[in-house]
Amino acid sequence: MDFGKLEMIPKTRKHNRIKPRRKAPMTAQEKRHADRIAQMFCLCCGTKPVELHHEKEPCGGRRDHRYIAPLCSVCHRTGEHARHAIGRVSFNALLGFNLREWCEQEWSKSEELEDV
């Protein structure tokens, strides 16, 4: 190797942003929808109070304020069979229905209420 003549390495572009930018805050319509869902009982065990679980797209999509479900803290985060403990497929099997589809139906109901 000849180190007598070193060529300058060209400056590369700045890296692409790895961390996504902060999501836009809830719209007024999304806030009313969230308030309506928060008044419901837990979908899994039927208790209150509930936390709002954001159901993402199946392939790791982004969190969307429209697709939320009422789950108590045990069914959402801390329990043995909690949504975040057992994952999407197992939790849907435990519920007996697809949580994402339920969220989509509830969003449609909220939109209909807005139109009235």
Cis preceding linkage at 49, omega within 30: yes
Tens of pLDDT, residue by residue over 52-65, are 999 988 776 777 89
- Residue type for 9, please? I
Tens of pLDDT, residue by residue over 5-53, are 666 666 666 666 666 667 778 899 999 999 999 999 999 999 999 999 9
**Quick one: DSSP state of residue 99?**
H
List Cα–Cα distances, 78 to 23, 42, 69, in angstroms: 26, 14, 16
* Domains of the chain from N-terminus onward: 28-115 (3.30.40.190)
Q: pTM above 0.85?
A: no
Indicate the Cα dihedral angle 109, 52, 30, 63, nearest 10°. Answer: -110
Which secondary structure element, helix H or strand E, spans residue 53, and what is its range? strand 51-54
Tens of pLDDT, residue by residue over 81-114, are 999 999 999 999 999 999 999 999 999 999 998 8
